[in-house]
Amino acid sequence: MIASLEITIDSLAAGGDGVGRTAEGRVVFVPFTAPGDRVRVRVEADRGRWLRATVEALLEPSPLRTDPLCEVFGACGGCAWQHLTYAAQLEAKRAILREALGRIGGLAVAEPIPFVASPTPYGTRSRARLLVAGGRVGWRRRRSHAVCPTRRCPILVPALDRALAELAAHPPRTEGEVELAAGEGGAVRVTPLPARDGAAPSLAIQVGTDRIEVSPGGFAQAHADLLTPLAQAVHEAAGTGELALELFAGAGTLTLGLARRFARLVALEGDARAARDLATNLRSAGLSHVEVLAGPVEQALEDAALAGLRPEVVVLDPPRSGLPPGVADTLVRRSPRRLVYLSCDPATLARDLGRFADAGWRLASLRGFDLFPQTPHVEALAVMERGDLAGGPGA
């Protein structure tokens, strides 16, 4: 194995590592580097066509570098890009998204990809899951399940940063995950997970003019400042009509706005607690024409009650793993005119969109949202339309 070598970092990989090449052309992945860095690295793993290495010395720093704000950056697994300027992060995310759709999905993407930046690169995260172990509180260590103790975290909104400091000073006696969540009016909830029903109150978040209650452990987008613009973009992409189908509806951050655009809306959610939150939020908003079905999406779609459902538009916000097996084929058979796909993983987004492209669908639009500054995570909103239709979203 090559012990040490000097390389120049050319780009950033989807996982966040810098990417360079040896003189022989082998790819080298190096964490905590920036495009333009000249580094001496030590090879830690040889995988044949590619190597994984760590920095021994920064020989020539890239102009895209900046100073991290976090004292445990590099040891903590929460962030990977605090050493990069924010402009460099955004450009890398555009490239990661474009590369995934082209390589995995076979989809040509118009350049540049529109990207909604975070209003600020720090202090944005309004929900987080921390680890409590051995009387210490923090995120998990990089490439480890062990806790990386910390008392402050600059990516959290100020109210949660203060809650973290208090939790670190007085950790709970039980060990495991703890959810920190911030809601409207400065409310903060600290909940050991898994949360029992009724063990902690729901927390309200604001999405446009709607108030959404979310139970402990329930999913909601973590960037409070971009949640409303994101929901508005989804609603505009969906358009209006008679019948829409929403998959992975959660507590309703997208559902309530969609319900006002369609005469009938069917919303599927696999988590029973989230489905109850969704039903509660719809009642509170006075929206009685939405059908909420709880259960795994792949099973609910095949339910006899939905066998004849032919929605005009399908809106989906799946987990990082993307669509379960068979769901894309089922949706193609239902033949909606438009698919509005909100994704938190470019690779599974590309895989799923490629299946629709193979069935004759076309990519009508693509847009990025930076919900997770200081990390390589990419949120994207893609709109697919049937190949026999003309016009973009809103047509």
Q: What's the longest Cα–Cα distance across the chain?
A: 66
148 is catalytic: no
Catalytic residue among 70, 148, 153, 344: 344
Opening angle at CA 326, ends 323 and 330, nearest 5: 100
> Which helix or strand (DSSP H or E) is residue 209 part of?
none
Which amino acid, one-letter code, is at 258?
Answer: L
> In the structure encoding, which two tokens stand for residue 209, read together?
């003019």
The answer for residues whose C-beta is within 8 angstroms of residue 140's C-beta and 6 or more apart is: 76, 77, 78, 131, 146, 147, 148
> In the structure encoding, which two tokens stand for residue 112, read together?
């540049």
Distance between CA atoms of residues 38 and 253, nearest Å: 45
Contact 342, 317 (CB under 8 A): yes
> In the structure encoding, which two tokens stand for residue 31, read together?
């964490």
Which amino acid, one-letter code, is at 363?
Answer: L
Provide the Cα torsion 282, 284, 288, 289; round to 10°.
-30
Residues with a catalytic annotation lie at 344
